[in-house]
Amino acid sequence: MQRLNIDLGERSYEILIGPGIRRRAGEFLKAVFKPSRIVIITHPSINELYGAEVAENFAAQGWTTDIIEIPEGESSKSLTQAEKLYDHLLELNCDRKSVLVALGGGVIGDLVGFIAATYQRGIPFVQMPTTLLSQVDSSVGGKTAVNHPKGKNMIGAFYQPLLVVADLETLATLPVREYRAGLAEIVKYGVISDAKFFEFLETRHKDILNLDHDCLSHIIETSCAIKAEVVEKDERESHYRMILNFGHTLGHVVESLTGYTRYIHGEAVAIGMVRAAELSVTMKRCSAEIPTRLKNLLLKLGLPVEMPDLDTSAVIESLYHDKKTMNHKIKFILVKEIGSIEIVDQVSEGEILAIL
């Protein structure tokens, strides 16, 4: 098992990564907190696969343990679902020492984190991510949120977990499309901060697609280490943390203008990263070789790279609603070279239209 520390003063915590460690979550929690009770929140399908053994492990520590199921899908990240969960936690008499356990992907993690941040002004929670995307991105760093009809992740809080327990074995049951979508975020870390890591992904793409154990462990650990370092420098995204949004500016637009049905998040990020690299060439930040190299790697990993046919004025309009847009200036994360990027807000509508 690998242990990474994320150093945020009194909000510091460990990210544990390894095979089979879901069965030891109670033991890990006991080392950092004494809960009054445990409430595991998950989807029915994940409950069926892993719920009983995770619950047994917490119960074995002598803690009353309940499981709450919520429906799958992005629509569960809503204030309506949050209200149902508050009701349920009150029925269970959860107090401020009750610990919520988010067992699932980013939907569960973001929703449970938001509930933990707000129930009785904040109670502790543990992230147990079961998708590749959530193991390398959403479970780390404390961004929690629900959606608003006018925008994704519009209502939320920065709220760090007590612990992250990422069991590599759970990835074996993940649908292949979801696995590939997680790889897009892993490629992102190579582009924003580590050229050698990017080369590793290029050389080992076949092993990665075959879920080679050592390879998987290395790419998850490296990704979490890069994310931890960024979050330690700028926890609340005053500026630097925006680099984690490389590819997301247009990625979010692609997701939203295709009604969140055609692409899953990582696929839209793959498309957005290629466009951001092309914009970097147009804006003379990098050579034309960079988008080609990025595109080749994403294609090898089975990800989409071409922009769908979208109404360009709707794209521009949507970019003005991006959470990074301030004072009517659209921000883009541009590539200088693999491993090095720049946050730019001097991007004109004409330059954006040129790459659509």
Site for ligand NAD in 283-312 (CB under 6 A): none
H or E segment to which residue 322 belongs: none
Q: Which residues of the chain form contacts with ligand GLY (CB under 6 A)?
A: 137, 141, 143, 241, 244
Number of residues that bind ligand NAD (CB under 6 A): 28
Task: In whole angstroms, give the CA distance from residue 185 to residue 254.
Answer: 16
Among the listed ranges 30-38, 136-144, 214-222, 313-321, the one in contact with ligand NAD (CB under 6 A) is: 136-144
Q: Does 138 bind ligand NAD (CB under 6 A)?
A: yes
- Least distance in Å: CB of 194 to ligand GLY? 17
User: Which residue is closest to ligand GLY by CB?
Assistant: 244
Find the binder of ligand NAD among 85, 174, 187, 303 (CB under 6 A): 174
Per the annotation, the verdict on 96 as an active-site residue is no
Q: Does 322 bind ligand NAD (CB under 6 A)?
A: no
Are 17 and 168 spatial neighbours (Cβ–Cβ below 8 Å)? yes
Task: In whole angstroms, give the CA distance from residue 249 to residue 258.
Answer: 15
Task: In whole angstroms, give the CA distance from residue 248 to residue 234.
Answer: 18
* Residue number with CB closer to ligand GLY (35 or 109): 109
Task: In whole angstroms, give the CA distance from residue 270 to residue 346.
Answer: 23
Among ligand NAD, ligand GLY, none, residue 241 binds (CB under 5-8 Å by kind):
ligand GLY
Per the annotation, the verdict on 11 as an active-site residue is no
Among the listed ranges 82-90, 104-112, 210-218, 234-242, the one in contact with ligand NAD (CB under 6 A) is: 104-112
Q: Which residues pair with 306 in a beta bridge?
A: none
Per the annotation, the verdict on 265 as an active-site residue is yes
Half-sphere exposure of 58 (CA within 13 A, CB side): 27
- Least distance in Å: CB of 244 to ligand GLY? 4
Are 187 and 298 spatial neighbours (Cβ–Cβ below 8 Å)? yes
Residue 335 backbone dihedrals phi, psi, to 5 degrees: -95, 135
- Least distance in Å: CB of 232 to ligand GLY? 12
CA nearest 109: which of 92, 81, 130, 94? 130
End-to-end alpha-carbon separation of the chain, Å? 44
Q: Does 178 bind ligand NAD (CB under 6 A)?
A: yes
Task: In whole angstroms, give the CA distance from residue 124 to residue 279.
Answer: 42
Among the listed ranges 57-65, 116-124, 128-136, 193-201, the one in contact with ligand NAD (CB under 6 A) is: 128-136
> 333 is written with which tokens?
């994360």
Find the binder of ligand NAD among 141, 190, 247, 251 (CB under 6 A): 141
List the catalytic residues: 121, 143, 185, 227, 237, 241, 245, 248, 252, 265
